[in-house]
């Protein structure tokens, strides 16, 4: 009985946040859809400006749960620019929370609405979200030989033509680093050895295609590239071996006390233009990440573990930036659900929004 109560209490830690974040999705899509129709006759940049504001509202609500609700400490190393920039954000990838980390940095620069992702193709089928991410400027890509360079270039060129502010998030590894799937790590290391590249321990060998297309297409549009390295505290077992990074559910259950984020801002002129040379440059950046993570996880001096070298800042996110969005979206959703007609519209949005979204992404990238 006591164990059952404990498990129930534990599960409720993520049930409420998940219910609110998923529950407000139809409300958000309705608001966005109404603006999409109204702005059809306006220049694209007007649509983008309001869309970015709407996205800021929703993601601020998400950050209320992932930061304010969990109480996680965000430790930032390096220099996070305070001014708004058009950037590509390159990061190591180990769990779904990595998406949220990009939001954590963006909101501190007041550019949360500018965040757009390069995502694996299968995610476009997510109900409501998959379609919307594409509409917001996200790019879905397939791996390896199926990668469609032309589609990605055309999508990015359309964003530039509309003067869309760009905070493009790319995870060059292509898949998550998972210590529980050693074959993926071993294959990645074998590939690096075969290609004459340094073997990496705590990250996978990066793939250059998406990064090259993004940099090459937007080289006259971008201000910089942010090279971001993320480590989640509490991901080492009692034997000192690295564990799986927290899932969104585990993160919301407050299983991660601190997130460490190292940022290196890189000027475009420092990045080679040709893909062959950019590939080596990208691998060298991941070598730097690997050294940072070796220091974080494996430093011989225990006092140097669980932190990156250099100065750091404990950055706390103010409720003023997140709570109003929660109250606004939560209030709109609650008011819709209070009436029978509102409840019918809510259900239809889930059903028809998902069907229309799946149809849309199946015929248009």
DSSP assignment of 152-220: HHHHHHHHHHTT---EEEE-TTSS---TT-HHHHHHHHHHHHHTT----SSSPPP--HHHHHHHHHTTT
Cβ partners under 8 Å of residue 161, min gap 6: 44
Q: How many domains does the chain have?
A: 1
Asked if residue 2 belongs to a domain, the reply is no
At residue 305, the pLDDT reads 86
At residue 148, the pLDDT reads 86
The Cα 223–Cα 230 span in angstroms is: 22
Asked if residue 68 belongs to a domain, the reply is yes
Going by the DSSP 8-state scheme, the letter that residue 295 receives in this structure is H
CA 155 to chain centre: 19
Q: What are the pLDDT tens digits along the chain (365 aa)? A: 444 544 455 567 888 899 999 999 999 999 999 999 998 888 888 889 999 999 999 999 999 999 999 999 999 999 889 889 999 999 999 999 999 999 999 999 999 999 999 999 888 999 999 989 999 999 999 876 678 889 999 999 999 998 999 999 999 998 999 999 999 999 999 999 999 999 999 999 999 999 999 999 999 999 999 999 999 998 988 777 899 999 999 999 988 999 999 999 999 999 999 999 999 999 999 999 999 999 999 888 877 889 999 999 999 999 999 999 999 999 999 999 999 999 999 999 999 999 998 888 888 75
The Cα 282–Cα 278 span in angstroms is: 6
The Cα 88–Cα 259 span in angstroms is: 21
At residue 6, the pLDDT reads 45
Q: Model pTM?
A: 0.93
Asked if residue 202 belongs to a domain, the reply is yes
The Cα 202–Cα 287 span in angstroms is: 10
Looking only at the bridges linking them, the beta strands covering 312-315 and 73-78 are antiparallel
Asked if residue 288 belongs to a domain, the reply is yes
At residue 79, the pLDDT reads 83
Asked if residue 4 belongs to a domain, the reply is no
Residues in the chain: 365
Instruction: Look up the domain containing 94 and give its range.
Output: 12-363
Asked if residue 324 belongs to a domain, the reply is yes
In the sheet that holds 258-266, the strands lie side by side as: 139-141, 115-120, 167-170, 87-91, 224-232, 258-266, 73-78, 312-315
Per DSSP, the three-state class of 290 is helix
The Cα 32–Cα 132 span in angstroms is: 9
> Which token pair is 74?
């965000």
Q: Which residues pair with 226 in a beta bridge?
A: 89, 265
Whether residue 265 contacts residue 224, with contact meaning beta carbons closer than 8 Å, is answered with yes
The Cα 342–Cα 357 span in angstroms is: 21
Asked if residue 330 belongs to a domain, the reply is yes
The Cα 93–Cα 266 span in angstroms is: 19
| Run of H or E residues at 26 | helix 25-38
Asked if residue 5 belongs to a domain, the reply is no
């Amino acid at each position: 009985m006591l164990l059952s109560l404990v498990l129930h209490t534990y599960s409720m830690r993520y049930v409420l946040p998940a219910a609110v974040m998923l529950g407000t999705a139809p409300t958000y899509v309705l608001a966005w859809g109404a603006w999409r129709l109204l702005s059809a006759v306006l220049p694209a940049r007007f649509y983008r400006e309001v869309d970015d504001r709407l996205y800021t509202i929703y993601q601020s609500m998400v950050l209320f749960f992932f930061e304010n609700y969990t109480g996680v400490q965000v430790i930032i190393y390096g220099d996070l620019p305070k001014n708004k920039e058009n950037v590509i954000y390159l990061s190591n990838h180990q769990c779904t929370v990595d998406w949220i980390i990009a939001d954590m940095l963006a909101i501190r620069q007041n550019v949360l609405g500018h965040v757009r992702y390069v995502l694996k193709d299968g995610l476009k089928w997510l109900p409501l979200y998959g379609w919307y991410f594409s509409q917001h400027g996200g790019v879905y890509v397939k791996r390896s030989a199926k990668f469609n360079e032309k589609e990605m270039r055309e999508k990015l060129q359309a964003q530039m033509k509309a003067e869309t502010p760009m905070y493009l998030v790319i995870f060059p590894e292509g898949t998550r680093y998972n210590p529980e799937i050693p074959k993926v790590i071993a294959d990645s290391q074998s590939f690096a050895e075969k290609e004459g590249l340094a073997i990496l321990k705590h990250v996978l060998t990066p793939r250059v295609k998406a990064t090259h297309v993004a940099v090459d297409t937007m080289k006259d549009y971008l201000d910089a590239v942010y090279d971001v390295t993320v480590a989640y505290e509490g991901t080492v077992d009692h034997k000192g071996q690295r564990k799986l990074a927290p899932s969104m559910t585990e993160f919301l259950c407050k299983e991660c006390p601190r997130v460490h984020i190292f940022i290196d801002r890189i000027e475009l002129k420092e990045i080679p233009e040709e893909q062959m040379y950019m590939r080596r440059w990208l691998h060298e950046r991941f070598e730097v990440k690997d050294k940072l993570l070796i220091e974080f996880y494996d430093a011989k001096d225990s006092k140097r573990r669980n932190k990156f070298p250099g100065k750091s800042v404990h950055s706390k996110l103010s409720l003023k930036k997140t709570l109003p969005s929660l109250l606004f979206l939560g209030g709109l959703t609650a008011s819709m659900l209070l009436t029978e007609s509102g409840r019918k519209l809510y259900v239809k949005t889930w059903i028809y929004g998902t069907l229309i979204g799946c149809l849309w992404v199946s015929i248009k990238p």
